[in-house]
Structure 1
Amino acid sequence: MNHVLCGLAANEALSSELVDRLIAVADDDLGAVLARRADLSHAQAVELASRGDETAVRLAYGGLLTADDIDPVAQPLVALALLDTRAGRPQWARLLVAHPDHEYREKLAACPDLPADVVENLAADQDVRVVTELALWTTPHVAAALAEHPHAEVRRGVAANEATPPPVLSALITGSGLGPARRCLVCDREQPPFSHDPECPRLDCDLRPGASCDGSHESTLHDIQLAALRNPGTPTEAVIPFVDHPSLLLRWALAARTDLPPEVCRRLAAQTHPGVRADLAENPAIGDAVIRLLAGDPDHEVRRRLAQNPLVPLDVLIRLARSTRTGATLLPRIATATPAEVEELAGSTEPSARLLVARRRDLPAAIRDALATDPDAKVVKSIAPHPGLSDSLLRGMIDRYGVQVAAMAATNPDATPALLEDLTRHEPPAQKAFREVARHRRASAGALLACLPVKRARLFAAGHPALPPTVVADLLSDGDWQVVEAAAANPSLSRAVISAMVP
């Protein structure tokens, strides 16, 4: 891979003539970068597509090719990409449904809006992989028909398809009303009874770990139930009996459903496996009683996931924040807090409550500025990136808490060039701040030069348009290929240097 050319291919300052020259020498790596250019003309896209199918497929999915631009016989993968984006032609589907390679027919089966005769042929395909792929993506009518397919793997695809009619999903999950499947992937390959070793050493084996068949296709039937439980279209009354199922995986899938009645939620909250309780904790279907029960769960992940629940009461959330690491992102319940709740949280005597609301980026100016002078360093660190903070407030928090808040202050969109440059000279050095300074749109040349010796910041500084062109040119020979690509993509690179590097 030529990292200089790949970087140049992404350079916004590249002229149309130079883009043409890169297209003429493009391989798959270079083509992948060129295909993402926003200024690529249709003629350039067509020429680039001729460099290889991998690049042409990218262009097709990017909407840069039309049906007139390709030959479906010579470029079947590109034709499939256009069919997948509803930009192909029906006759292409009729051509590709007879392709001798099953992988092409599988890709076709996943395409939308196929002609009825093509769908009929795919449903009758002799390769179960093709029919299964169709089952995963097809229309309600076809999915209902495929639920009766003799192969259990196809039925698994139907169970996962969200377009499958609810009565069909009920039949699949209970087995009621459907004839028994006659085959599965296991008994297609091995004589029952057979259980696949999860640590199977055979390199050519594609059976799922733990797959088994004693003649009843038990592992695939389990997978059908699992897929149906995960399908939001499966009726509630069909999934409730699984709350006490011996299979942990099935109970676990049930915990994420948002249509569960309170009694089922309560029983799932009593499950011994913390993964089930964690999925349940994040489920907005659980009521206040279950929320308060899970708030005292001994497992940290259960409590952390409960904090992510958009319906958790504020008093519970504050209690969770005292003892649970909830992460640095804004929690859903805090994002929807009312103005009165925001004011209450910001004025709380609990640092954990103030920390939660400090993660918002739309606070009233008075609350924002008050939190910027908070006596708790964690609160100040959280509010530091908030837009609108004055230079004096940002400098004040850095003076008080130093390296604890320096990196977050450097992410503030209103940080001045002078402040960013001062951060690079902070004593003791604020190592984490260098990368944020190097990424900041207002960073000066002086600040960026100070960032270059810092490994974590060098990559971002190399691509910053404020870096002097001569320095950018020097970085084209850097020992780190990522730095080379970033420098080559830097729009401040002089046109003479760019032109000299393009073949």
Structure 2
Amino acid sequence: MTADMVARLQESADPSVRVAVAYSRHATPETRDRLLALVEAEDAAGSDDAAVALRWSPYKPNWLRDASLAERLTYLDCPHAVFRRILAASRDLPEEAWQRLDNDPDVSVRRAAAHRPDTPPQVLLRLLRAHGERSHVRPPLVDHPNFPRQELRDFADDPNPAVRFLALKDPGLPATELRRFKEAAESFLRAGAARHPNVSADLLEQLLADPVPQVAEAAAANPVLSQARMERILVEAGL
């Protein structure tokens, strides 16, 4: 993209075009800041087009992945999180860069950095305690080889439901702890308890009567349920 093309495209009325230009390798930092500030202002004013351009644009600065280490490191101070997030997907950064990314003000940057192979256990634990897991991100951070899985049980007392849910990732979570999840206001916590391998037969029976279908279905699918009870469920359903 030539300088003339950048100059012409940045005047577009379409916020998606302006965001794409801002993410281009050929945009200067000053041009990038100005374009993104304009779209952010439009977003703040209620523009749906600006919101889509900022949050769901297919255009990302993916060229940064292939840049030299020296060039990538210049983006540690970039004010736009999308550039720092792509930088955090690197695997060859020096330790001081990882320390900064692990403490980035944007949680999505910290999550990206935490997926590197040698993330310290305390970094993973701190991130999950603060924010829980992102269900659509694979692999989950709780499955990271360095994550201290012996700490999972302590998450059962966390007031944040997203963090509390991680306790259910402990296959050895006692049945007494699982019983507490039955009273949770959030149906995904009750469904998690219904799927757990340590759930007791009597707790499963209670979860089968849950008013939320997904919870009852999770309980009905748990192998802990006796064959006779499974057959009775099928008969009652007319199957």
Structure 2 counterpart of 1:151, one-letter code: D
Q: Is the 8 A contact 2:118 2:146 kept in 1?
A: no
Deviations 1:69-98 (A, max 9, x none): 356389522688543446433564344322
Q: In structure 2, how many angstroms separate the alpha carbons of the residues matched to 1:78 and 1:50?
A: 16
Q: Is the 8 A contact 1:45 1:59 kept in 2?
A: yes
Structure 1 counterpart of 2:199, one-letter code: V
Deviation at 1:14, TM superposition (A): 1.4
Q: Is the 8 A contact 2:161 2:186 kept in 1?
A: no
Deviation at 1:32, TM superposition (A): 3.2
Structure 2 counterpart of 1:93, one-letter code: L
Deviation at 1:42, TM superposition (A): 5.7
Report the equivalent of 2:216: 155
Q: In structure 2, how many angstroms separate the alpha carbons of the residues matched to 1:166 and 1:39?
A: 52
Deviations 1:136-193 (A, max 9, x none): 4x21x417454212424332222345x5557254344335xxxxxxxxxxxxxxxxxx
Q: In structure 2, how many angstroms separate the alpha carbons of the residues matched to 1:56 and 1:105?
A: 20
Deviations 1:453-475 (A, max 9, x none): xxxxxxxxxxxxxxxxxxxxxxx
TM-score, normalization by structure 1: 0.28
* 1:174 aligns to 2:235 (yes or no): yes
Aligned residues: 172
Deviation at 1:50, TM superposition (A): 1.6
Query: Pick from 8, 24, 27: which aligns with 1:4?
Result: 24
CA pair 147-45 structure 1, distance change in 2 beyond 3 A: same
Query: Pick from 83, 108, 111: which aligns with 2:169?
Result: 111
Structure 1 counterpart of 2:220, one-letter code: A
Report the equivalent of 1:123: 181
Report the equivalent of 2:199: 142
Q: Relative CO higher for 1 or 2, CA cutoff 8 Å, sep ≥ 6?
A: 1
CA pair 20-170 structure 1, distance change in 2 beyond 3 A: farther
* 1:77 aligns to 2:137 (yes or no): no
* 1:23 aligns to 2:76 (yes or no): yes
Q: In structure 2, how many angstroms separate the alpha carbons of the residues matched to 1:118 and 1:26?
A: 47
Structure 1 counterpart of 2:109, one-letter code: T
* 1:14 aligns to 2:68 (yes or no): yes
Report the secondary structure of 2:126's partner residue. coil
Q: In structure 2, how many angstroms separate the alpha carbons of the residues matched to 1:63 and 1:10?
A: 17
Q: Is the 8 A contact 1:159 1:169 kept in 2?
A: yes
* 1:97 aligns to 2:169 (yes or no): no
Q: Is the 8 A contact 1:32 1:55 kept in 2?
A: yes
Deviation at 1:3, TM superposition (A): 0.8
Bigger Rg, which one: 1
Q: Which has the higher helix share?
A: 2
Structure 1 unaligned spans of 5+: 176-224, 226-240, 243-503
**Percent of aligned positions with the same letter in both sequences?**
14
Structure 2 unaligned spans of 5+: 1-18, 26-60, 135-139
